[in-house]
Amino acid sequence: MNRRREWWKDSLVYQIYPRSFQDSNGDGIGDLNGIRQRLSYLKGLGVDVIWLSPVYKSPNDDNGYDISDYQAIMEEFGTMEDFDALLREVHGLGMKLVMDLVVNHTSDEHPWFKESRKSRENPYRDYYIWKEEKEGGMPNNWASRFRGPAWAWDGSTGMYYLHIFSKKQPDLNWENPGLRKKIYDMMAWWGEKGIDGFRMDVISMLSKEPSYPDGELKDGNPYGDGQPFYANGPRIHEFLKEMNREILSRFDWMTVGEGVGVGTKEALEYAGFDSGELNMMFHFEHVELCPGPYGKWNVNPVDLVQLKEVLSRWQLELEGRAWNSLFWENHDYPRAVSRFGSDAPQYRERSAKMLAVCLYLMKGTPYVYQGQELGMTNCGFQKLEDFRDIEIHQVYEEMVGGGKVGHEEMMGYIHHTGRDNARTPMQWDDSAHGGFTEGTPWIRENDNYRAVNAREQMGRKDSVYAFYQRLFCLRKDSWVVKEGTYRLLLPEHPGLFVYEREWEGEKMLVACNFTDQWQELTVPGWTWQEARLWLGNYEEAPKGTGLRPYEGAAWIRV
Ligand code: GLC
Ligand code: CA
C-alpha cells in the first residue's frame, strides 16, 4: 500500500440541486451565478467537493436529467462563461467540482434522437433501442420507472423505442461502439475544462439483457419489473472497464456510480479497489427500507433493526475491499430528519444532529445534500398542483386515476416518500421565499423557512449547521473514523444504534438513540470512567448510564 491516499476518501461532498439552490436573476429558478454567490457558505461548512446535479441543456421533463446537449449549459442556469467562472472560483477556494453524467438516456430533443427517429436507415438509428411490435403489442411488458409502460410507439417508422424513465428520456444503446466513443469524447472535453469527476446517473443500467424478457408483475403495477434485466446487465463491467481505460484513468477524478439494483456483491465488482471501474457506488438499501404493497409509495416507519443490519453489512462487506459512500439524502428521497428522525419542533434539531453522528462516523466518503445541514424537513404541500415532479404526477394519475387508492391515501404516500420533499428551495434566511429568489419560485418553498434557515443557524452555536461544521472538522483528523474497523453492538435493540470503531489500538464508541424516550445503555467492554466524550448533541455530557431522547454521541477509550 504505497499508493498516495486518494483525495476523495477524505472529502466532504456536498450535492447541489441547482434549480433549488439560489436564484440570482429573479426568474424563480436557481442558477450558476446563484451558486457562485454561495461558495463561501459551502467553504465555511467544510465542503471539499461540490457535486452539481445536471446543468446541461435540457427541456426539463425530468429537471435536467433529460439532456439535449451534453456540451451546453441549460439556458435557465446561465452560460458556459458562467460555468467557467464557477469552476475557477470553486478551485480558487480550494474545493473541487464534480458533474452529473447522465448517459443511460438522453432527451428526445437531443439531435441524436431527432436523427434516430427519422428513418430505420439513419446512421443514428442504432444509438437508441428500437424494437418491432410483438404480437400486435409492445416488445415486452416492462414498466417505466416513472410508471406506465417503458416503450413508446413511433408512428413514422412503425417501431417502439425504450424509455426506462419518461417518454422524453429514450435509452441509449450502449451496444453501439460509435455511441460509446462519442460519450467518452464528451467526458474528455469536460475533463480538459478541469472538472474533478463525475457522479454517474443510473450507471448500473447501461447494459440490457439482449433477449428483453418480460418482467414480474408486482407492487400493484400493471407493467412488469424489468430491473433484473436492465440493472447489472451482461456487458456492464465490460463497458465500465472500457470507460476507465479510455477516459477515467487519464484524469485525477472522483467517480461515484448510482447503483440501482446494486448490493454489496455488485458494489465490489463496480468499485472494488482493484476492479478498474469506479471509485465508489451509491446503494439505496437503507433509504428504501420497509416498502409497502405499492413499493416505494407507503407511509411505513423505518425499522431500526433492519436499518442497522443494512448499514452494518455495507461497512463489513466492503472493509478492505471497496470504499463506502455515506448518505442520508439526495434529490430523489425525502428529508432524512422527517424519515429517520423526528421533524416535530422539539426534536427536529436534536434528531438531525443524531443522524449525522450515526452515519458520518462510519467509514466512507460523506455526502451532504443541500439543506440537510440545516435539518430541512419534508414539504407537506396540501395541494397536488404544488408538486412539480413528473414521477409524482404520473404515479398519482395511475393510482388515483386508475381507482386503486383514494386521493387522501395517495397524498399521504407522496408526503412520506415523494421526491419533491427534497426539492423545495434552499432556506437561506427569513425574507420572502427564504431568500432563494426575488421572484416566484418554480416550486413553493417549505412553510417553515422563517424558523429553519441558514442565516439563523450560522449565528447560533448549537445549531444543526454548527454541529455539522464541527463534526466534519473533527472527522478530518480522526484516523479511527476514517480508517478504523467497524463492529455493530446490540444488533437487536429496537431503539439504539450502537457501534464501535477501532484503529491501531484506539477505540471509539458511537451510540445513537432513535427514540423520544430515555434508553438505558450498557455496552460490554466499556466502562464510562475510561471513556472521554468526543462529540455529542446535548450541551451537557451524557450521564453515562443511558441516552436521552435522540441523543447521539461518540466516546474515545482513554
Ligand atoms: C437518477 C436521478 C433521478 C432521475 C433518474 C433518471 O435516478 O437521480 O433524479 O430522475 O436518474 O435520469
Ligand atoms: Ca435564475
Give Dmax (Cα) for the chain. Answer: 78
Other Cβ atoms closer than 10 A to 521: 23
pLDDT band at 540; cut points 50, 70, 90: confident
Structural domain including 338 reads 7-106+177-381+419-472
Note the pLDDT tens digit of each residue in 290-337: 999 999 999 999 999 999 999 999 999 999 999 999 999 999 999 999
Note the pLDDT tens digit of each residue in 424-465: 999 999 999 999 999 999 999 999 999 999 999 999 999 999
What integer best gives the mean pLDDT of the chain? Answer: 97
In a domain, 194, yes or no: yes
For residue 97, list its beta bridge partners.
50
In a domain, 305, yes or no: yes
400-414, 459-473, 514-528: range with lowest mean pLDDT = 514-528
CA dist., res. 369 & res. 324, Å (int): 17
* 257 and 208, same domain (yes or no): yes
For the question of residue 61 being annotated catalytic, the response is no
* 38 and 131, same domain (yes or no): no
Q: Which residues of 98-112 are buried (b: 16+ CB within 10 A; e: fewer)?
A: bbbbbbbbbbbbbeb
Ligand 2 (ion): residues with CB under 5 Å are 23, 25, 27, 29, 31
CA dist., res. 544 & res. 522, Å (int): 9
Selecting among 258, 266, 456, 500, the annotated active-site residue is 258
pLDDT band at 2; cut points 50, 70, 90: very low
Query: What's the residue count for the chain?
Result: 558
* 56 and 120, same domain (yes or no): no
Mutation test residue for ligand 1: of 17, 19, 62, 367, the one with most atoms within 8 Å of CB:
62
In a domain, 255, yes or no: yes
SS3 217: strand
- Using alpha carbons, select from 323, 239, 245, 257 the residue that is nearest to residue 102: 257
Three-state SS string across 101-124, please?
ECCCECCCCCHHHHHHCCCCCCCC
CA dist., res. 357 & res. 377, Å (int): 18
In a domain, 450, yes or no: yes
Rounded to 5°, angle at Cα 182 from 176 and 183? 90
* 512 and 543, same domain (yes or no): yes
* 84 and 142, same domain (yes or no): no
* 45 and 115, same domain (yes or no): no
Selecting among 48, 76, 201, 398, the annotated active-site residue is 201
Output the domain CATH number for residue 516.
2.60.40.1180
Scanning 164-218, the segments in alpha helix (DSSP H) are: 177-193
Residue 200 alpha carbon to ligand 1 centre in Å: 10
pLDDT value for 152? 98
* 186 and 84, same domain (yes or no): yes
* 183 and 265, same domain (yes or no): yes
Report residue 391 as a C-alpha cell. 414521477
The DSSP secondary-structure symbol of 469 reads H
In a domain, 169, yes or no: no
Output the domain CATH number for residue 20.
3.20.20.80
Residue minimizing CA distance to atom 2 of ligand 1? 201
- The strand pair at 365-369 and 485-489 is best described as unpaired
Question: Measured from the CB, is residue 329 less than 6 Å from ligand 1?
Answer: no
In a domain, 59, yes or no: yes
pLDDT (mean) for 505-530: 93
Number of domains present in the structure of the chain: 4
CA dist., res. 375 & res. 464, Å (int): 6
* 235 and 154, same domain (yes or no): no
Question: Measured from the CB, is residue 62 less than 6 Å from ligand 1?
Answer: yes
pLDDT value for 544? 66
Report residue 77 as a C-alpha cell. 442556469
Q: What is 429-486 written as a DSSP string?
A: SSSGGGGS-SS--SSPPPGGGGTS-HHHHHT-TTSHHHHHHHHHHHHHT-HHHHH-EE
* 144 and 213, same domain (yes or no): no
Does residue 354 carry a pLDDT above 70? yes
Which residues are within 8 A (CB) of 377 and not within 5 positions of it... i.e. 6 or more apart? 335, 337, 338, 343, 348, 446, 448, 452
For the question of residue 258 being annotated catalytic, the response is yes
In a domain, 172, yes or no: no
Percentage of the chain modeled with pLDDT above 70: 99
* Number of the ligand 1 atom closest to the C-alpha atom of 62: 10
* 551 and 440, same domain (yes or no): no
In a domain, 1, yes or no: no
* 124 and 203, same domain (yes or no): no
Output the domain CATH number for residue 126.
3.90.400.10
